[in-house]
Structures are given as structure tokens and as C-alpha cells.
Amino acid sequence: MDSKAQPEKLPDTVAFQDEFTREFMVSPKEVKEGYYLFKSKTGGYTMLYPKNAKMDRMFYEKHGKYFEALHFGGGRGEENISNYIRMIYENRKITEDIDVNISLLSDDVHYNGKYAKLELNDKTIYFGKNEQYISNNNSDIIYYFFSYVKSKRSHQAVQFIYAVTCKDANQKCSIDVKKEEERAKMLMKSIKFQY
């Protein structure tokens, strides 16, 4: 997408009204209700991207075609729900060492459990989930859904972390954990490696 496009002619969504985020969108057409098609600046993969999520320029990092780290967040204000996604894309031999990469992911999310292995045609997803209390009164919880998504046909892989919490812990907020897990898995499965 041309980031210099005129915002008033673009969809009135966070993804298209934010200049930096817009650079990653393939087109202003939703490919699934509420989602655009995102394309990595490495050219290495595409995936579904929530229309109300904003890419964080401060946390964006790219090295050639083999590494990209990004962070985007959004949420559903009317439901008092906030979420963010952190992703690291790599296209190097190191991705073949699944145990090492899963161990790094586990350290990131303070997880010491097992991963479920989801086999898809072109990729394998190693999936885990946990929750953390972020305050003493146990009302403030962050739910994490995370995975290591590994291509079966190349050295490409994505470390994916989806976190969801109440925007304001003092207000009513009901997170449907099952639905959030489904949403996270749908995004993970939507990753399509480009060869």
C-alpha cells in the first residue's frame, strides 16, 4: 500500500488511518470480516491483520529479508478489552532447532508447560497458553496465547505472542478466554510463508 495515500479516501479504521500501519496492508479490502491482509516487509509472509490494530513504530525492527520484529495492539474499547501481538520472523537455519526456539519463547512468557503441536499442510504450530496476575488483588490478569510457527518447506518461522487483558481493571470487563484463544489460533493459522 502507498503510505502517502489520502487518509480521507481510505477505510476509517486504525490500520488504514495510521500511516505506519498502512505500509503493511496489501489492500483496503477486508479479506475476512474485520481483517485486512498484512504483508511483512521482508516479503517472507502474509497474515490476517485486525482492522483496529496499530503497528508500533518504536518496536519495529528489520534486518534484510531474514529478520523482522514487530508489535501491534488494539482492543475493543466498548468492551474494555485491550490486546497486543508481538511477532518475530526469522529465515535462518537456527529456526530448525525447535527446542531452542520454544525455550526462548517460554522464557519470554514465563511458561514452563508443554506445547500442543498443530500440523498444517505447510507449517507446524507449537502452541501454548498461560495467564499472569499483574497486580496484588488478582483482578488484573493477562491471558497469553503463544506459538512458534515453523514452515515445513524452508527455514522460515514466526514467534507469535498474543496477550489480552482488561484495559481498565477498575471497570467491568469480561474476557471470553475461549473466544480469545480461538482468535489467537486463527491469526497464527493465517500466517502464510512466501517462497
- 88-140 pLDDT tens trace: 999 999 999 999 999 999 999 999 999 999 999 999 999 999 999 877 666 68
Q: What percent of the chain has pLDDT over 70?
A: 94
Is 80 exceeded by the pLDDT of residue 2?
Answer: no
> Residue 129, exposed/middle/buried by CB under 10 A (0-12, 13-18, 19+)?
buried
Query: How many Cα neighbours within 13 Å face the side chain of 187?
Result: 28
Q: Contact at 8 Å (CB) between 55 and 24?
A: yes
Phi and psi at residue 182, in whole multiples of 5°? -60, -40
Tell whether the model's pLDDT for residue 5 goes beyond 80.
Answer: no
Confidence at residue 139, expressed as pLDDT on a 0 to 100 scale: 64
- Residue 6's pLDDT is what? 64
Residue type, 167: K
Q: What is the pLDDT of residues 137-185, one digit of tens each?
A: 666 889 999 999 999 999 999 999 999 999 887 788 889 999 999 999 9
How do beta strands 54-55 and 81-91 pair?
unpaired
Q: At residue 16, what are phi and psi to the nearest 5 degrees? A: -100, -25
Measured between alpha carbons, how far is 71 from 143 in angstroms, rounded to an integer? Answer: 17
Task: Please name which of 42, 142, 62, 161 lies closest in space to residue 104, comparing C-alpha atoms.
Answer: 161
User: Is 60 buried (19+), middle (13-18) or exposed (0-12) by CB count in 10 A?
Assistant: middle
User: Which CATH number is correct for 56-190, 3.40.1000, 3.30.565, 3.10.20, 3.30.70?
Assistant: 3.40.1000
Share the mean pLDDT of the chain. 93
**Residue 7: is its pLDDT beyond 80?**
no
Residue 190 to residues 31, 32, 54, 122, Cα–Cα distance (Å): 11, 11, 18, 11
Tell me the average pLDDT across 20-46.
Answer: 97
Question: Is 4's pLDDT higher than 60?
Answer: no
Q: What is the pTM of this model?
A: 0.93
Residue 3: pLDDT band (50, 70, 90) is very low
Report the pLDDT value the prediction gives residue 136, as an integer from 0 to 100.
66
